[in-house]
Copies of this chain bind each other. A is one copy, B any other.
Amino acid sequence: MELIDGKKISAEIKQELANEVCLLKEAGQKIPHLVAVLVGSDPASETYVASKVKSCQEVGFKSTEMRYSDDITEEQVLEIVKKLNEDDDVDGYIVQLPLPKHISEQKILLAIDPNKDVDGFHPYNVGKMVTGLPTYLPATPAGIVELLRRYKIQTQGKHCVVIGRSNIVGTPMSVLMSRKDEYADCTVTICHSRTQNIKEYTLKADILIVALGIPHFVTADMVREGAVVVDVGIHRVPSDKTKSGFRLVGDVDFETVAPKCSYITPVPGGVGPMTIVSLLQNTLKASKGLV
């Protein structure tokens, strides 16, 4: 069993991005600039945004955090989006979700200029991905493909089973793995909450990608010997073994599943660190005008 070390790979990619920034600077070209819009004070959102800003700093990108209290109106957020669309200094931006309930996430998303939508969530970019046109790939699926590529895991003709059909992970993941591409070209099965006898599917998987959001959902009896397992879940569960009183676990019961795998991503340190790296890669693409 080999561990897929997302922490190490993400550090490597950050180093590559930092080198790119150096070259851009030397050539007198524009440094990529990412803006993160944060509304309200959801602790998880604050952590995510802080982490994105920190990652920008690490690789030498310019970053701006724009914070607003949760009594901001939808109209005001739309006005901010409009200004970001028009601001030539901003290459890409994200509006951190979730937004307060009185603001329509869909309305905000549709107002974002697809050329600056480095999250890859705008339907125009989703459709470009599905039809194979160059675009910003959604961060988590793109990060997973990058891990497969860096570990040179052969995927062509293999059976990939994706558990979960969310718009930001499961569904785009299933599309990416089925397209014609070096680290794709799989026969893909997408399972979800309505799937019956899910074990019948997971036991057939050469590559199992789990993004259901249920801690320890995948157990050893569901995984075939030699499978590649990618765990997208991340949950805080109580623990008497850590000082903090909790620990992070994934959708996969790592301890029992890992011994059966050829490759597996740990939680934390697997898929998680790749997500931010994908966002940085998209921002570089945006600044180079590649989409």
A175–B171 touching, CB < 8 Å: yes
9 closest residue pairs by CB, A with B: A123-B127, A127-B127, A126-B127, A189-B189, A187-B195, A124-B124, A123-B128, A131-B167, A157-B196
Interface residues of A in 138-180 (CB under 8 A from B): 156-157, 165, 167, 171-172, 174-175, 178-180
User: Is A132 in contact with chain B by the CB < 8 A criterion?
Assistant: yes
Given A123-B133, A165-B178, A188:B187 Cβ within 8 A: no
A186 neighbours in B (Cβ, 8 Å): 194
User: Is A130 in contact with chain B by the CB < 8 A criterion?
Assistant: yes
User: Is A244 in contact with chain B by the CB < 8 A criterion?
Assistant: no
B133–A122 touching, CB < 8 Å: no
Closest chain B residue, CB of each to CB of A201: B187
A128 CA / B123 CA spacing, docked (Å): 5
Closest chain B residue, CB of each to CB of A178: B190
Interface residues of A in 95-119 (CB under 8 A from B): 106
Copies of this chain held together in the complex: 2
Question: Which one, B123, B132, B190, contacts A187 given CB within 8 A?
Answer: B190
Closest chain B residue, CB of each to CB of A191: B187
A132–B179 touching, CB < 8 Å: no
A135 to nearest B CB, angstroms? Answer: 8
Question: Which one, B124, B132, B188, B196, contacts A167 given CB within 8 A?
Answer: B132
B127–A157 touching, CB < 8 Å: no
A190–B192 touching, CB < 8 Å: no
A213 CA / B72 CA spacing, docked (Å): 54
A185 neighbours in B (Cβ, 8 Å): 194
A267 CA / B175 CA spacing, docked (Å): 29
7 new A-B contacts, CB < 8 A, other than A123-B124, A126-B127, A174-B174, are A106-B133, A122-B127, A123-B128, A130-B172, A132-B167, A156-B194, A157-B196
A192 neighbours in B (Cβ, 8 Å): 178, 187
User: Is A125 in contact with chain B by the CB < 8 A criterion?
Assistant: yes
A164 CA / B7 CA spacing, docked (Å): 37
Given A157-B195, A178-B190, A190-B187, A130:B133 Cβ within 8 A: no
User: C-beta contact mask, A187-228 vs B, less than 8 Å → 1, else 0?
Assistant: 111111011100001000000000000000000000000000
Closest chain B residue, CB of each to CB of A165: B178
A125 CA / B188 CA spacing, docked (Å): 23
A214 to nearest B CB, angstroms? Answer: 17
A178 CA / B201 CA spacing, docked (Å): 15
A190 CA / B131 CA spacing, docked (Å): 15
A156 neighbours in B (Cβ, 8 Å): 194
A122 neighbours in B (Cβ, 8 Å): 127
A34 to nearest B CB, angstroms? Answer: 22
